[in-house]
Structure 1
């Protein structure tokens, strides 16, 4: 188990890959972001994207899944905030996303000596290593138990 004390600024982790399908894009779009370029291939052709694309929120949700899977060994992470969220380019059907996480800051909790806060820069890149999404997330992480 990795605790707050085991994490260092500069630590980098890479996730597994995730390939998004056309049906996932349209299903998510219909339910949560029903804009034509997320749900209708013909309408998407005439959009600024020139074709069907995943909602940015779906891209963020995929990144969340990848982050959780790549940090399952970290003690009780609870997200407390996201900053500087940017979508650099759309995620298209059949594209593969992977996540790179780098610890950019950490600080102990002032109110609870059993916890600390870790801020990580996340970069989601496609199969061509092009930046798709980036953001910074802060999580609360348990400190190692006293011996």
Structure 2
């Protein structure tokens, strides 16, 4: 897949991804290193929490989402470079055996006023489980390179 420059993105574009199956051992390993709370580490301890069973750390979900993004067809020129989030939430837990995939929608495309060689795209990425329930929703602002030789007027008014 060829890298996409700012001029290649349009409001309303939707991108999909491959899938990741969440393994119990991976939930525990990530938690042991980065988020060592009982509901991420031990099934018995997790049973009596608000999760009612073992659940992946939200940060583990975010890391798996990042992997799916990198492997997806989005491929912004310069890489997936975040400039911040407008929204980031976890509406339901991720469980062992869940199969995650992404749907990403371009919400806005705009050239930078101060850096003419780049711009920003605003993208909503929803991480879905195997029954199409959202487990993470984020609206991110991504820095994307402009096509060499392009003019700012070529993409004005796209969002």
Shorter-chain TM-score tier? over 0.9
Partner residue, 1:116: 119
Aligned-pair CA distance for 1:83? 2.1
1:2-49 deviation per Cα after TM superposition (whole angstroms, max 9, x unaligned): 110111011100010101100000001111111100001110111111
1:71-115 deviation per Cα after TM superposition (whole angstroms, max 9, x unaligned): 463211321111211101000001111011000011111111110
Which shows bigger deviation, 16-25 or 67-76? 67-76
Q: Which runs of 4+ in 1 moved over 6 A?
A: none
C-alpha distance in structure 2 between counterparts of 1:54 and 1:83, whole Å: 23
Unpaired runs of 5+ residues, structure 2, are 151-159
Aligned length: 147
Question: Would you say the 8 A contact 2:102–2:125 is kept in 1?
Answer: yes
3-state SS in 1 of match to 2:60 = helix
Matches within 5 A, 1:65-144: 65-71=67-73, 73-77=75-79, 78-144=81-147
User: What is the root-mean-square deviation in Å for CA atoms of aligned residues?
Assistant: 1.2
Unpaired runs of 5+ residues, structure 1, are none
**What TM-score results when the alignment is normalised by the length of structure 1?**
0.96
Partner residue, 1:59: 61
Q: Which has the higher strand share?
A: 1
